[in-house]
Amino acid sequence: MTISSLLAPLRAVFVLGIVFVAGANLSLAQEADAADTVQYRNGGAALRLGHLNAAFEIFTRDCAAGRAADCYQLGDMYRRGIATVQDFDAAAETYQRACDLGSSAGCTQLANMLFEGRTLDQDYPRARTLYTEACDLDEPAACGVLGNMMYVGLGGGKDRNRGAELMRQSCRADVEYACGQVRRYGLSNDGSRSGVLDREFWRGN
């Protein structure tokens, strides 16, 4: 019996082992792909995993399908330039769609951009309208800014009583900006000026 004939069975076992390992690896790869597909059904999951391109594609798809939260997330990606070129106009359009679909965060973020006037042309009247929409959707931060705008008459008519009420409401929800404005204006509980009051007063009234 030759050495070659003795080694033949070992070669067969070795080849079978390679085939088995390759098959196992292929199966694992397929399972990983399937897991990714499941994860990618939700843009937030893809974003948390750091799969930014997938998240962008999913948010785009789901925003087009009318999902407000996905439109807001997509707007954020445009505004910050994540997985896409930074595009403030596209961000504004997407936040507006989120707002129209009932996202208070979408209304508020677009209002912030219009109020600040750094990434979009400053537009106080439109910002005030958007803050009003967000406040009506129970967004405390939007109510605080809206209250300030109403109190001083920025972007529309002046209504100090309503403005003070909205700032107090926002402060009770722990919005620091609103609490700072309450202290700044020295507002009393009836909306008049009577000295500086701290946040603990507004929480309890």
d(CA 90, CA 26): 41
Q: Identify which of 167, 148, 177 has the alpha carbon closest to the alpha carbon of residue 205.
A: 167
Q: Do residues 67 and 44 lie in contact, with contact meaning Cβ atoms separated by under 8 Å? A: no
d(CA 128, CA 146): 6
How many Cα atoms occupy the beta-carbon half-sphere of 167 within 13 Å? 33
Query: Which pTM does this prediction carry?
Result: 0.74
Report the pLDDT value the prediction gives residue 187, as an integer from 0 to 100.
Answer: 79
Task: Map out the domains of the chain as residue ranges.
Answer: 41-116, 139-205
d(CA 89, CA 111): 13
Report the topology of domain 41-116: 1.25.40
Tally of CB atoms within 10 A around 69: 18
Residue 146 one-letter amino acid: L
Q: Identify which of 118, 99, 124 has the alpha carbon closest to the alpha carbon of residue 109.
A: 99
d(CA 118, CA 188): 34
d(CA 44, CA 46): 5
Give phi and psi for 64, each to the nearest 5: -60, -25
Q: Identify which of 66, 109, 105 has the alpha carbon closest to the alpha carbon of residue 91.
A: 109
Report the pLDDT value the prediction gives residue 189, as an integer from 0 to 100.
Answer: 53
C-alpha torsion sign, points 14, 18, 23, 24: positive
How far the first Cα of the chain sits from its last, in Å, is 101
Rg (CA), the chain: 29
Residue 154 one-letter amino acid: L
Q: pLDDT truncated to tens, each residue of the chain (205 aa)?
A: 444 554 444 444 434 444 333 444 434 333 333 345 445 677 998 998 899 999 999 999 999 999 999 999 999 999 999 999 999 999 999 999 999 999 999 999 999 999 999 999 999 999 999 999 999 999 999 999 999 999 999 999 999 999 999 999 999 999 999 999 999 998 755 444 433 444 343 333 3
